[in-house]
């Protein structure tokens, strides 16, 4: 799995999503774009990919599309419309684009995908976006309360990964 941390300026979301799909198909990779304000850390997305792939392998996936299944796990939600809140939208903002090789593809495919993504008009700058995660936004989205935070010394990332893992329990 590779990540492109960037700033996006999206004029037409449907066109942007179609471009991502075409690039992924061309390179044999799965691509999912996230609003970086909702991503706790790299491990958050790694765990989402791992659990989505496991669900697909077991035939327990909710979504037909691997990218959407990854989004569901990353958001810790089974409803696609609620998980989409975590995705990118029209306008400008911080993003992280996940690239994961599909069966038969390798790290070279991921690298080629990243190079293609960097050429998209919507990518207006490559910059760190995961380091500036807004904990209040993340806590609100994942329903992490102040009481929960004060009861543990776990990081926000660890609490989010717990929510992601609990998705399987809540099925």
Segment 31-55, tens digit of pLDDT: 999 999 999 999 999 999 999 999 9
Please report where in the chains the tokens 């911080």 appear, as a residue.
Answer: 94
d(CA 121, CA 84): 22
d(CA 29, CA 139): 30
Q: What pLDDT sits at residue 103?
A: 76
Instruction: Give the mean model confidence (pLDDT) for residues 74-103.
Output: 94
Q: Which domains does the chain have, with CATH numbers?
A: 2-169 (3.30.2380.10)
Q: What pLDDT sits at residue 135?
A: 84
Q: What pLDDT sits at residue 16?
A: 98
**Is 100:114 a contact under the CB 8 Å cutoff?**
no
d(CA 159, CA 151): 12
| CA distance readout (Å), 18 to 47, 138, 151 | 25, 27, 44
More confident residue, 171 or 169: 169
* Tens digit of each residue's pLDDT (9 = 90 or more) over 134-146: 689 999 999 999 9
């Amino acid at each position: 799995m590779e990540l492109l941390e960037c700033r996006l300026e999206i004029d037409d979301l449907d066109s942007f999503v179609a471009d991502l799909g075409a690039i992924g198909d061309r390179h044999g990779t799965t691509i999912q774009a996230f609003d970086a304000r909702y991503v706790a850390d790299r491990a958050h997305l790694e765990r989402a990919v791992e659990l989505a792939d496991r669900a697909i392998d077991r035939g327990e996936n909710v979504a037909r599309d691997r990218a959407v299944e990854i989004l569901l796990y990353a958001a810790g939600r089974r409803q696609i419309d609620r998980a989409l809140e975590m995705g990118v939208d029209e306008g400008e903002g911080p993003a992280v684009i996940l690239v994961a090789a599909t069966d038969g593809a390798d790290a070279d495919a991921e690298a080629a995908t990243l190079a293609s993504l960097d050429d998209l008009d919507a990518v207006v700058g490559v910059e760190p976006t995961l380091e500036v995660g807004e904990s209040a936004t993340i806590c609100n989205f994942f329903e992490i309360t102040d009481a929960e935070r004060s009861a543990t010394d776990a990081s926000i990332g660890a609490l989010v990964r717990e929510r992601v893992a609990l998705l399987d329990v809540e099925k």
